[in-house]
Structure 1
């Protein structure tokens, strides 16, 4: 059953993710969609997409000019996409490495981008506190584990590279890692303060509530069929406006003319039952730290506010034609692999139940380079291509779009991602073959490094493909 087919079910958010289960348990009304658009209308700004990018854009537009009439159109419920399903990392991560940014835009631009991303984590926490959005924001940083010799080499190199770009990345020995988290087989690691744990659906839901209280119209169950200069055509009516913002991320290929702008790649998650204090005494993560390791096929985790381990990773298949469907949220073999990986890292969780499995699509541009921009001649703005780093980056996008739309000349509007245009993905079936090959290559590289203790040449060949 597709996401579009599910929106008339007032309880459809239950089971979408652990995060939405918690929101609906606290506020049953959250499961009921807001009214759809009621025929043709007008607005100053129409934002297509009710995830973080769209919500933050609306928020900062009203901060800049409270008189603006802002309408958000969302095909499902605000925050029901990646914004309510992700790993809950509000981080300073940007999908393009600083070295790659420097090669494309110059070293000063790369430093400015890194500083803006670090500031973004603080900004999200500040707004959550000011607006009283209870999203379990905890500024605990990220600890990265290295469990093979090639992984030790990578984290050592990343710590040195971070210092060159103004990032605080502490290289840790096993004892230093254990001050944050105690996992099996750790040889080294890093810690950076520039990440906060959040409950992502609470952040999205709370932000949407703030917006509606301030007069922003959020039309849910309203699918945009076409964006054009000064207008958005939806299945519920046409909106004429001055500015259009496309904030559709993994769903972008559904829009005419955008089929190859990004590809939707699935990331899946599992969450345990609340774990007893004895288990947490063994594991750690007692200051809201987020967790990853230095393998090629990304994994990520957090200790939730109610003492679960929520753990996710890539590895789900790409579906030809850039298809996005609710059926793809559940891939039992991948969820089982994630659970095995979790137990491998933390044997103390082996006897504790997994209560939630879920997934969702994220948007990947061809050059792994997120972008934000506005074409004044057409009035069309856009942001996206976050490659899974969108919790923080979407906030920066919203602030930047608000400045661009209101004509403010600020440091944000001069950041190197502003106006960037990624090349189009190849047509099918070449696109499917490339993405599938990259996924298998990352899996193979990790296995080879565990087996041989040497860096994978395949992984090195993948680096340009991954924006490094």
Structure 2
């Protein structure tokens, strides 16, 4: 697609947003709706949705990277539950805005089924549901083997957890549609315009400086490229493959009749969905973290990881043997040191931020956009009282410590899954590495 024009000269606005992903665009959308008189400019190094917003696995879920226990430690039990309810409501908000604004993003709210395919996985599934009940939550249920297979019939299935709070969608269609809607509301989007630096009331670009009352950092996995923010978030790659459209006979064996998103309770994350055109999209972690938080186009592809994802897919669904993979891609997501996403505004500097979604951003960005709207407009609300507001994660360790730690953690999770398959017991390595990897 043809990029929008780049910024040509210095500019003065009310709100400058760095990053035309979902965080930046949702913020612009809600600000423009609340205050049409505001002068809002969004700058983007590439094109709208170039990063994780356009290249994710298409889960609009209620998942938040930090646990309820972590959020309660930041605030209170009631506030943690309020955060969870806000995430659940945000799933429906994404769907409602897409419908209202005519954004055709292939959305289907079929929920999420997370399979248990080994004894340790089934134990984790049961523990997760028990933990939800201890918080008074009824939105997560434990499925028997028969109930699980009725939704998704994968090899070795013993049971599953299920929640209705997720919609499958086409991420690029959502973010590009949102960009067009935002632009139609009078927001200026300057593509091919990198932010060289962010400072109070100023964004430096190659074409000049944007001065603004408020500057919003919405850079997620690319945050480490900004001066002074090298250790704020680390970019970790997630890779995805997509099959050719599958015939109805194959889907009759696999399931996903309601286009449920799916995963299983292994240690190293995998995720998938059935697309509107009947492809199976399947992704996961496993690609290495690169020294110095390096981000390069070549890192988007790792043939070893693509092959591993395909092998996992065939192991889960033998009926797919011989199926062609027609698309493969990847990209960087942003991980804070404590695995807790945050949103905030420093009124003394006019600097606002949101991010650290750890791959759970499709819905969380929407909550961030509405929260930033309220913070920027100085309107205290239920959203601005949530425990992630104003949270500041500690910095990551300097190199080479974080390179050693993160890659050791990723390797340990892969070995843990192999260990559990062989022994039938929960991995000791996984328990030891959980604190480093944000386990909760």
- TM-score scaled by length of structure 2: 0.98
- Cα deviation for residue 464 of structure 1 reads 2.1
Q: Deviations over 1:2-59 (max 9, x none)?
A: xxxxxxxxxxxxxxxxxxxxxxxxxxxxx10000001111111000000000000000
Contact kept? 1:229, 1:378, Cα under 8 Å: yes
- Cα deviation for residue 194 of structure 1 reads 0.6
Q: Which residue of 2 aligns with 1:464?
A: 435
Q: 1:262 and 2:262 equivalent?
A: no
1:233 aligns to what SS in structure 2?
Answer: strand
Q: Which residue of 2 aligns with 1:207?
A: 178
Q: 1:164 and 2:134 equivalent?
A: yes
1:367-406 matched pairs, under 5 angstroms:
367-406=338-377
One of 157, 161, 168 as aligned partner of 1:197:
168
Alpha-carbon distance between aligned partners in 2 of 1:72 and 1:100, rounded to the nearest angstrom: 33
Q: Which residue of 2 aligns with 1:300?
A: 271
Q: 1:243 and 2:243 equivalent?
A: no
Q: Which residue of 2 aligns with 1:51?
A: 21
Q: Which residue of 2 aligns with 1:344?
A: 315
One of 200, 222, 225 as aligned partner of 1:229:
200
2:362 aligns to what SS in structure 1?
Answer: helix
Q: Which residue of 2 aligns with 1:435?
A: 406
Q: Which residue of 1 aligns with 2:82?
A: 112
Q: Which residue of 2 aligns with 1:61?
A: 31
1:358 aligns to what SS in structure 2?
Answer: strand
Q: Which residue of 1 aligns with 2:43?
A: 73
- Cα deviation for residue 103 of structure 1 reads 2.8
Alpha-carbon distance between aligned partners in 2 of 1:150 and 1:61, rounded to the nearest angstrom: 46
Contact kept? 1:174, 1:187, Cα under 8 Å: yes
Structure 2 residue runs without a partner (length 5+): none
1:178-189 matched pairs, under 5 angstroms:
178-189=149-160
Alpha-carbon distance between aligned partners in 2 of 1:292 and 1:317, rounded to the nearest angstrom: 21
Q: Which residue of 2 aligns with 1:177?
A: 148
1:279-358 matched pairs, under 5 angstroms:
279-358=250-329
Q: Which residue of 1 aligns with 2:115?
A: 145
Contact kept? 2:409, 2:437, Cα under 8 Å: no
Alpha-carbon distance between aligned partners in 2 of 1:109 and 1:466, rounded to the nearest angstrom: 24
Structure 1 residue runs without a partner (length 5+): 1-30
Q: Deviations over 1:162-191 (max 9, x none)?
A: 233335111011100012111100011111
1:395-434 matched pairs, under 5 angstroms:
395-434=366-405
One of 397, 422, 426 as aligned partner of 1:455:
426
Alpha-carbon distance between aligned partners in 1 of 2:215 and 2:115, rounded to the nearest angstrom: 42
Alpha-carbon distance between aligned partners in 2 of 1:181 and 1:75, rounded to the nearest angstrom: 40
Count of equivalent residues: 438
Alpha-carbon distance between aligned partners in 2 of 1:274 and 1:253, rounded to the nearest angstrom: 38
Contact kept? 1:223, 1:236, Cα under 8 Å: no
Alpha-carbon distance between aligned partners in 2 of 1:204 and 1:369, rounded to the nearest angstrom: 23
- Cα deviation for residue 372 of structure 1 reads 0.3
Q: Which residue of 2 aligns with 1:3?
A: none
Q: Which residue of 2 aligns with 1:129?
A: 99
Alpha-carbon distance between aligned partners in 2 of 1:383 and 1:350, rounded to the nearest angstrom: 42
Alpha-carbon distance between aligned partners in 2 of 1:105 and 1:368, rounded to the nearest angstrom: 16
2:80 aligns to what SS in structure 1?
Answer: helix
Alpha-carbon distance between aligned partners in 2 of 1:213 and 1:105, rounded to the nearest angstrom: 39
Alpha-carbon distance between aligned partners in 1 of 2:429 and 2:382, rounded to the nearest angstrom: 39
Alpha-carbon distance between aligned partners in 1 of 2:329 and 2:283, rounded to the nearest angstrom: 9
Q: Deviations over 1:200-221 (max 9, x none)?
A: 0000000000011111100000
